[in-house]
Amino acid sequence: MPIIRPWLVDPSTDARVIRLMVYVWLMMELDAVDYLATVFYDTPQAPFDLHHDLARHLWDESRHSQFGYRQLPKLGVDLMTLEHSLDLYTILVQMPPHERYAMMTMEFEANSFPTKAHVMDRVRELNDFEADTLLAFDRNDEQNHVRSGHRWLPVMMALGGDARPPEEFVEATRARFAELAKTYGGVTPHSLPAARRLTGEKILRLATSGALAPLPCDS
């Protein structure tokens, strides 16, 4: 995985490394588009307003992915070296839609804010207006997704015939996810050989030296 979590919060990490890693993070949000799309399909009886908010959520995630897709090449990353993780998708589709939606909004999104706040502070050091703006949009959208989650999770649970209090349900779903991850996590093979795929070390070199290898036009 090219995102090294401890580096993101280590005060000695170069802010340019953090900027590249957060763009990789954003691009990887394409997996959220994939697993959120399955929630529509699996809740055909949901009220229109629920699907309406879900559609906005889906669009936001595809946009976040585009932030990375658009910015990474500008910073010298060859997108063909980026592996896309299918892990979360593979685990989440084992769950019914209300559990999938609970993991997304009450776990992944709800817990992303402290790291994101730190990343935004560090990226601000670079005086990169575009990066600051994209990250501000991302955080604002994520706040809306968590808000939507609070509104719609109980409705989705009712559709799935689950009458537990939402907090109890979320807690149980976390445990179930951890259990499923033992079987379905880490089973998708690498799509690129080790020498070719982007890694944290390569991001470090790229961010701090300006280039991984001479460009064809340099020769």
Compare residues 61 and 162 and give the one whose CB is closer to Fe ion. Answer: 61
Transcribe 176-208 into DSSP letters: HHHHHHHHHTT-SPPSS-TTTS--HHHHHHHHH
Find the shortest distance in angstroms from Cβ 64 to Fe ion. 4
Find the shortest distance in angstroms from Cβ 65 to Fe ion. 8
User: Pick from 17, 145, 148, 153: which binds Fe ion (CB under 5 A)?
Assistant: 145
CB contact set of 147 (below 8 Å; sequence gap of 6+): none
Choose one: 111-119, 128-136, 142-150, 199-207; the region binding Fe ion (CB under 5 A): 142-150
Compare residues 98 and 206 and give the one whose CB is closer to Fe ion. Answer: 98
Compare residues 7 and 137 and give the one whose CB is closer to Fe ion. Answer: 137
* Count of residues that bind Fe ion according to CB under 5 A: 6
Residue 213: CB atoms within 10 Å: 10
Q: Per the structure block, which two tokens stand in for 208?
A: 């701090």
Compare residues 29 and 42 and give the one whose CB is closer to Fe ion. Answer: 29
98 binds Fe ion (CB under 5 A): no
Interaction mask 39-68, Fe ion, x per CB under 5 A: ----------------------x--x----
| 79 touches 197 (CB < 8 A) | no
29 binds Fe ion (CB under 5 A): yes
* Cα 193 from Cα 195, distance rounded (Å): 6
Question: Phi, psi at residue 101, to the nearest 5°?
Answer: -70, -35
Transcribe 30-89 into DSSP letters: HHHHHHHHHHHHH-TTS-HHHHHHHHHHHHHHHHHHHHHHHHHHHTT--GGGPPPP-HHH
Compare residues 16 and 64 and give the one whose CB is closer to Fe ion. Answer: 64
Find the shortest distance in angstroms from Cβ 34 to Fe ion. 13
100 binds Fe ion (CB under 5 A): no
Find the shortest distance in angstroms from Cβ 27 to Fe ion. 11
Find the shortest distance in angstroms from Cβ 36 to Fe ion. 8
Find the shortest distance in angstroms from Cβ 83 to Fe ion. 19
35-50 CB burial, b ≥16 within 10 A, e <16:
bbeebeebbeebeeeb
Closest CA relative to residue 110, chosen from 98, 118, 119, 101: 101
Compare residues 145 and 206 and give the one whose CB is closer to Fe ion. Answer: 145
Q: In the complex, which residues of this chain contact Fe ion (CB under 5 A)? A: 29, 61, 64, 109, 142, 145
